[in-house]
Structure 1
């Protein structure tokens, strides 16, 4: 057998170079082919994507996913997910409200149907904004019908605003009250694992880090939580009772008597809801569809057999008329939703730099005459919060009025970024306050000893390496950290006092880490007015002397999509593009990799205890006060 002659090093080099050139050529050609294919699909799918809205249309609002202020994923990811038929996702509060308000005035919309089973409702403030929009539709004389198979009490707050509420005979709906229970793991961390967590804070009500150092909630935390939760719950009962023409006290009593009431209904939750006048009838979805066919216009090609438009279709109709350049002055809305961290953060989180950049964009834009900061945040890092607050001050110096509209939550750092606005609006059930500071440092020498590992070495001073978590925390080091936290609290209360024109002592009385509802905060001077985003926009426009509603436009300032994202989003929204992607394994792979959820993989506290240059501990203004 003949041996194949081995090539020399020079020959091997040129052969390898030739192979690399061939690979590069094929790669470039394949990429060009893929781009041409996408362009071809876009052309095929071009044309009118928005079907015209006919007269006597029923608007079917069936939102699926979490109710949010701002999408946490980019347009490309959302478009791909929708094209591939993925379920869940997010629903923007602003979209729900504007669709309802438009339907109220739209002569082509005959009635509104609510199917809320798949809506993952947020906090009470957001729900009350949607509930008010539904009530406005009903007050306009248009019929609102709600149907559910299984409904929780948050979804029910919206359904209760309808003229008629129908529940599946095998379904259920219970009002149970508000609860807030947290997991405490001091014993697991300290006794079992040997991790000592050192907490430094100001304010006896600042309970955010209690789970790391206690086995149960402190009396102060329980006192404060029950105070604001009772206020929110009583308002919920009043809202439901008003919509359903019930007595709020009797409604509360029926919850206490629930076991006896359900037993009397032979365990039938649907019948129990009907007997309590929480719903108007028990019908299947098919029976409700038949009713809508009788009341509306029959359409055999539509789901349910009646002429209808979905929420997405109706929003597309509304957006189809917004292509022309609008010369009117602008009230800019900047959304600050999520935890506050340093640097650049994706949508759904607040970045000290990224959110500040959006506010600077509003300041530099000559068309923007006023700004509304929509806040839905439990807070976070103090320095990042201060960066954003400074931008609010600069906006006011530039002569642009600033209003804050608090959503579900604007506590701790969320209040820090709000306090310097010309006026603060909050819903009565907004959660706010929590003016306090804390720092958290774990040390793990005992944990290391459990596995036979120890830390040792030398330093040039007694404090060299003092903040190394593998070493015990010295009392003198704890004193340094507490001094930093004390200074942070003085900064916080001092800035609130200046912004709200109150003595520091008066601010301290309502601070100390305590949480308030919007109504309670207004009573204590932390909030100016009770109202939602619309009221905040109206104030900002009036202060900027923009005239009456209609003389100005509202513009959301958000991170702009890239040209590729805009192109690809348009492609997958087309009929041909969506049909192609639904059968593409490659597209599904791209979707899985495109999702910008890297930041969501990190827990907030893991980032909070990360070392920070120049400071011994990262000061936090954070509140675990959602429910």
Structure 2
């Protein structure tokens, strides 16, 4: 009997603990938040070193933090990396250059948390910081290629004695599903225009088409030239050095990296700390703390006149969308506020998108057309402004691209998943009756009828013709001139400048300055749209999700993660939707 009561009370206690534990955790969580919310201002003593971890997620516009203290909480927890706004980082670096208490910057972290456009922008900001006469140093156990290209401009680049510098050149990898489709009886019915529109090749071929191979090699060669030569010049070397070091991967060992000049010295972390002390920077200030310290003092706050930055970030979707997608509804609110506010003298549309649904892209193009009749509209392109991303950009008064921007891809396609053969192998069949030959919409179990195929293909071709016409109108070219450089072909920012798709190479800051100049605004502040409408919980989940995606990608690798995304995107497609988008399942490796 005694044993029975022991087990009974043990089970009862366990049940009580399980019931109250969530409440204890919630109370503890919010107690921690409350204590973090009243953190004192960081002490920035003279000769402090600003420590910037470049591995944190860097986005054009980070998800707005619904409670600022979550930043501190996530840092304390150590398992969630809060996204950082690109403008915040570049302007904080610029502020540090003028701050008498900052002696220099230490660049840390392994891997670069942004895309190629963010890489170029942050490298430029750091270069301007160096021009102030202050030091920049860099340290890592392992340098990814993007990480190294940013940190190569440091006065001294240090590496762990057992580390690696992954300086190897660029590649572009595409996955092809034709064999998988044939083996398992699944497939995709495709409609497209343009000999370079490679977005659908993974479903039709087993390897790259000659046209796609040519454009892909030209694209990564142009981007690599820009980035690698910048790194080489920072280290005092030339193109010949780049080719020798990258082709032989001389940075694969720490000794090799030192011998070939990729790094200046091999140090353990403790030795690097001692080196920073020797520079007089015994006091370290983390970037997150310093950014919080200087909030309200940055250059984004100016006079009564305003330049509005409207962010178009992510896939272009139909309907409401999410905070990480481009929807007509969200952008319309931003455009309307910019148009109605007399203090807003000009608008910058910051585009970072591979494209998406064509009807949404055209509706956004119309918003730009309407707004630029009242106020100057300047486009700033990020990592991508391709296909639908270029569609919404082409009508602007002036277009900036980074040298590494992937743009163009002026082409159209539609696709419909089909698993009829797989279903048949497993005893599943379908049958239907229709009023008219084309009354029935295709499903994953029923193929597109010949008549409907012609209708969809005609829609794709009409959309392409309209797309080319929009570009011709916006860029002051003829339809034939645009068609010659369109056909779905992808271009780098440098190449896009040469063929007239953009007006100038530059980043967001230059675009803002140009917009102000076109409007005649001298003393101005910057406002950002659209305001995030997601709830606090949705925003926190978005932050956690972005960090989780990074972790999953690291765990399973780029190829498997890309396959997952491709399968998900195709499976989400229902009725045929005409798309203006870059290829799915293509990884540009830096």
Shorter-chain TM-score tier: 0.7 to 0.9
TM-score by length of 1: 0.81
Q: Flag as ranges the 4+ runs of structure 1 deviating above 4 A.
A: 33-48, 76-80, 320-327, 560-566, 591-597, 599-612
**Where in structure 2 are the equivalents of 1:78-89 lying within 5 Å?**
81-89=74-82
Distance 1:44 1:468 in 2: 55
Match of 1:295 among 279, 285, 289: 279
- Does residue 283 in structure 1 map to residue 267 in structure 2? yes
Match of 1:181 among 168, 173, 182: 173
Equivalent residue pairs, number: 551
Gaps of 5+ in 1: 1-30, 263-267, 298-305, 570-590
Distance 1:423 1:324 in 2: 21
Distance 2:194 2:255 in 1: 48
Gaps of 5+ in 2: 1-22, 550-560
Match of 1:147 among 128, 139, 146: 139
Distance 1:38 1:171 in 2: 38
**Structure 1 pair 607–274 and aligned structure 2 pair: CA distance change class (3 A):** closer
- Does residue 378 in structure 1 map to residue 376 in structure 2? no
**Structure 1 pair 512–59 and aligned structure 2 pair: CA distance change class (3 A):** same
**Structure 1 pair 289–450 and aligned structure 2 pair: CA distance change class (3 A):** same
Whether the 8 Å contact between 2:135 and 2:155 is mirrored in structure 1 is yes
Larger radius of gyration: 1
CA displacement at 1:95 relative to structure 2: 2.4
**Where in structure 2 are the equivalents of 1:450-465 lying within 5 Å?**
450-465=425-440
CA displacement at 1:357 relative to structure 2: 1.8
- Does residue 622 in structure 1 map to residue 581 in structure 2? yes
**Where in structure 2 are the equivalents of 1:219-258 lying within 5 Å?**
219-258=210-249
- RMSD between superposed Cα atoms in Å: 3.3
Aligned match of 1:5: none
TM-score by length of 2: 0.86
- Once the two structures are superposed, residues 550-590 of structure 1 have per-residue CA deviations (whole angstroms, 9 ceiling, x without a partner) of x1112222424789789xx9xxxxxxxxxxxxxxxxxxxxx
Aligned match of 1:168: 160
Distance 1:324 1:451 in 2: 62
**Structure 1 pair 244–43 and aligned structure 2 pair: CA distance change class (3 A):** closer
For the residue of structure 2 that corresponds to 1:180, the secondary structure is strand
Distance 1:215 1:459 in 2: 37
For the residue of structure 1 that corresponds to 2:164, the secondary structure is strand
Whether the 8 Å contact between 2:301 and 2:524 is mirrored in structure 1 is no
**Where in structure 2 are the equivalents of 1:64-463 lying within 5 Å?**
64-72=55-63, 74-76=65-67, 81-123=74-116, 125-189=117-181, 191-258=182-249, 269-297=253-281, 306-321=282-297, 328-397=304-373, 399-463=374-438
Distance 2:80 2:220 in 1: 32
Aligned match of 1:510: 485
Q: Which deviates further from its counterpart, 218-227 or 47-56?
A: 47-56
For the residue of structure 1 that corresponds to 2:188, the secondary structure is strand
- Once the two structures are superposed, residues 122-181 of structure 1 have per-residue CA deviations (whole angstroms, 9 ceiling, x without a partner) of 22x221111111111112111111111101111001111111101111111031111111
**Where in structure 2 are the equivalents of 1:21-100 lying within 5 Å?**
49-72=40-63, 74-76=65-67, 81-100=74-93
Match of 1:500 among 475, 478, 490: 475
Aligned match of 2:528: 556
CA displacement at 1:320 relative to structure 2: 4.8
- Once the two structures are superposed, residues 507-555 of structure 1 have per-residue CA deviations (whole angstroms, 9 ceiling, x without a partner) of 00000000011111111110011111111111100111112xxx11122
**Structure 1 pair 107–371 and aligned structure 2 pair: CA distance change class (3 A):** same
CA displacement at 1:421 relative to structure 2: 0.8
For the residue of structure 1 that corresponds to 2:433, the secondary structure is coil
Distance 1:552 1:323 in 2: 10
For the residue of structure 2 that corresponds to 1:65, the secondary structure is coil
For the residue of structure 2 that corresponds to 1:209, the secondary structure is helix
Match of 2:449 among 474, 479, 486: 474
Aligned match of 2:5: none
Q: Which deviates further from its counterpart, 434-443 or 90-99?
A: 90-99
Distance 2:234 2:301 in 1: 41
Distance 1:324 1:194 in 2: 56
Q: Which deviates further from its counterpart, 474-483 or 410-419?
A: 474-483
